[in-house]
Chains A and B, each alone.
Chain A
Amino acid sequence: SYVLTQPPSVSVAPGKTARITCGGNNIGSKSVHWYQQKPGQAPVLVIYYDSDRPSGIPERFSGSNSGNTATLTISRVEAGDEADYYCQVWDSSSDHPEFGGGTKLTVL
């Protein structure tokens, strides 16, 4: 199966920029989706197809994907952005989606 590697945690001060990475073999050739999950809530799609934002998601959220790393960038971080973030791809070799292990974003 296709393995996605995320850092367990990322910390950032309010107003700064947070970057959450998702590593995978030649992930740049795949489409990456990102989900935000706050405690006790269902995940929410925040970035799809590498860099598109669903309606209602602030422009502060952006994504990029190249080589072996995809990145979710959150600009001007707010306290309300504190959550777990998961990357996800479609693994065509196994014909199913794969999730990264998740990254806990802490706003200092």
Chain B
Amino acid sequence: QVQLVQSGAEVKKPGASVKVSCKASGYTFTSYGISWVRQAPGQGLEWMGWISAYNGNTNYAQKLQGRVTMTTDTSTSTAYMELRSLRSDDTAVYYCARQDSSSSPFDYWGQGTLVTVSS
């Protein structure tokens, strides 16, 4: 069965960076893409960006351009999301989600990773 398993919770200071991983199993990793979606406490879902696991092409949300980098390691079927220059309003649960293509629905989701930014 398809599974996306994310890394554990992180606590970071403002200005630091965080890198969250998402290990995929149960399907051919390079046949799909991975999006990252975050959810601030008590808020809705915010799409952050997408990466093709086939060729590494990326598409980032404009508001995060320059602060976010998404990568994949096809040898381990793992996707990564790095967010730099963290601010308090980056505190959120970060989810990875599988997509057939960048415009497809998010059909499987990781369990989420809480990132807390606090001095």
A35 to B1 CA separation, bound complex (whole angstroms): 20
Q: For residues 57 through 108 of chain A, which have their beta carbon under 8 Å from a beta carbon of chain B?
A: 86, 88, 90, 92, 94-102
Question: Interface size bucket, A side?
Answer: 20 to 34
Question: Interface size bucket, B side?
Answer: 20 to 34
A45 within 8 A of B: yes
B21 within 8 A of A: no
Q: Across the interface, do B106 and A49 meet the contact criterion of CB distance under 8 Å?
A: no
Q: Across the interface, do B109 and A99 meet the contact criterion of CB distance under 8 Å?
A: no
Q: Given known contacts A96-B59, A96-B61, A97-B35, is B107 in contact with A45 (CB within 8 Å)? A: yes
Kindly supply a per-residue 1/0 record for chain B positions 17-41, scoring 1 wherever the CB is within 8 Å of any chain A CB and 0 otherwise: 0000000000000000001010000
Please name the residue on chain B nearest to A49 by beta carbon.
B105
Q: Which of B59, B111, B112 contacts A95 (CB 8 A)?
A: B59
Residues of A near B105 (CB, < 8 A) are 33, 45, 48-49, 88
Q: Given known contacts A97-B47, A99-B46, A101-B44, is B59 in contact with A35 (CB within 8 Å)? A: no
| Main SS class of interface, A | strand
B110 within 8 A of A: yes
Q: Across the interface, do B44 and A42 meet the contact criterion of CB distance under 8 Å?
A: no
A13 within 8 A of B: no
A42 to B109 CA separation, bound complex (whole angstroms): 7
A100 to B45 CA separation, bound complex (whole angstroms): 8
Residues of B near A100 (CB, < 8 A) are 44
Q: CB within 8 Å of B: which residues of A? A: 33, 35, 42-45, 48-49, 54, 86, 88, 90, 92, 94-102
17 A-B pairs with C-beta separation under 8 A: A33-B106, A42-B95, A42-B110, A43-B95, A43-B109, A45-B105, A48-B105, A88-B45, A88-B105, A88-B106, A94-B62, A96-B47, A96-B50, A96-B59, A99-B46, A99-B47, A100-B44
Given contacts A49-B105, A96-B47, 12 further A-B contacts (CB under 8 A): A33-B105, A42-B110, A42-B112, A43-B37, A45-B105, A48-B107, A88-B45, A92-B103, A94-B62, A96-B61, A98-B47, A99-B47
Q: CB within 8 Å of A: which residues of B? A: 35, 37, 44-47, 50, 59, 61-62, 95, 97, 102-103, 105-112
